[in-house]
């Protein structure tokens, strides 16, 4: 780090540290000397392990983000949120039906949502969590799947819900119902599986497996390539 780097004042669980400008919350904690065991996963915004809460020295309003993605700012108060278990209903997908009654049966508490919108305001992926919860209430499984698709299951919505709901598990159920029952099965996929099972490609593959490297190279270089578009 060049000596001219501007430093930013942050507070980790109340204690002051100066860290170089441009670090994320995660790398700032590491710069302060913390070695993560919990609260750190893919470090790239996909796994949801590093959900975090912060506020500012003169602004008590709590804010939410992923520690690996959010850049530190002057006078940030940082903390790692503790783990707590969230409600998940155990089910056998094969025995379910893809309708709203099913969702309500597995997660009956969703009727308790009173539309405070805290979940939406909390989501670091900026998903419309409250709206997909109302879609779930109406039984619109497809819309829940669509609106919740980019969910990284960081758990912040459930952590903040005053009614103790777990939106991300409701969404996961709806996506699984959609993928299993509502999305049309792919005919060409089924067809190909049948062909493979019937041994249609066995002779060709056997030939390729036996072919010399020279022969394979020649065939590879001459192979026809389908346009990308």
Within 159-218, the residues that bind other proteins by CB under 8 A are: 172, 175-180, 183-193, 196, 201, 204-205, 208-209, 213, 216-217
Least separation in angstroms between residue 101's CB and other proteins is 18
For β-strands 76-80 and 51-56, DSSP reports them as antiparallel
Binding mask 95-124 for other proteins (x = CB under 8 A): ------------------------------
Q: Between 38 and 105, whose beta carbon lies closer to other proteins? A: 38
Least separation in angstroms between residue 214's CB and other proteins is 9
Rounded Cα distance, 127 and 117, in Å: 11
Binding to other proteins (CB under 8 A) within 69-98 occurs at 69-71, 88, 90-93
Q: Look-up: residue for tokens 């190909």?
A: 192
Least separation in angstroms between residue 59's CB and other proteins is 20
Backbone angles phi, psi at 227, to 5 degrees: -60, 145
Judge residue 200's burial from the number of C-beta atoms within 10 Å of its C-beta, 0-12 exposed, 13-18 middle, 19 or more buried.
exposed
Residue 51 pairs in a beta bridge with: 66
Q: Residue 115 in contact with residue 149, Cβ under 8 Å?
A: no
Residue from 33, 60, 82, 115 that binds other proteins (CB under 8 A)? 33
Binding to other proteins (CB under 8 A) within 12-31 occurs at 22-24, 27, 30-31
- Residue 40 touches other proteins, criterion: CB under 8 A: yes
3-state helix, strand, coil in the chain (%, to 5): 40, 15, 45
């Amino acid at each position: 780090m060049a000596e001219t780097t501007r430093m930013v004042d942050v507070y980790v669980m109340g204690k002051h540290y100066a860290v170089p400008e441009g670090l994320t919350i995660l790398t700032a904690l590491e710069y302060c000397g913390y070695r993560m065991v919990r609260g750190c996963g893919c470090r790239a915004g996909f796994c949801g392990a590093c959900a975090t809460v912060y506020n500012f020295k003169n602004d008590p309003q709590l804010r939410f983000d992923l520690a690996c993605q959010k850049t530190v700012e002057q006078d940030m108060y940082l903390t790692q949120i503790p783990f707590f278990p969230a409600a998940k209903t155990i089910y056998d997908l094969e025995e379910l039906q893809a309708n709203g009654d099913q969702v309500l049966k597995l997660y009956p508490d969703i009727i308790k949502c009173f539309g405070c919108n805290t979940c939406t305001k909390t989501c670091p992926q900026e998903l419309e969590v409250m709206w997909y919860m109302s879609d779930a209430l109406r039984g619109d499984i497809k819309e829940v799947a669509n609106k919740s698709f980019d969910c990284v299951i960081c758990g912040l919505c459930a952590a903040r819900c005053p009614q103790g709901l777990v939106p991300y598990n409701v969404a996961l159920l709806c996506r699984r119902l959609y993928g299993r029952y509502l999305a049309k099965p792919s005919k060409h996929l089924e067809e190909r599986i049948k062909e493979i099972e019937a041994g249609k490609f066995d002779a060709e593959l056997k030939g390729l497996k036996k072919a010399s490297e020279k022969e394979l190279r020649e065939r590879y270089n001459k192979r026809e390539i389908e346009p990308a578009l």
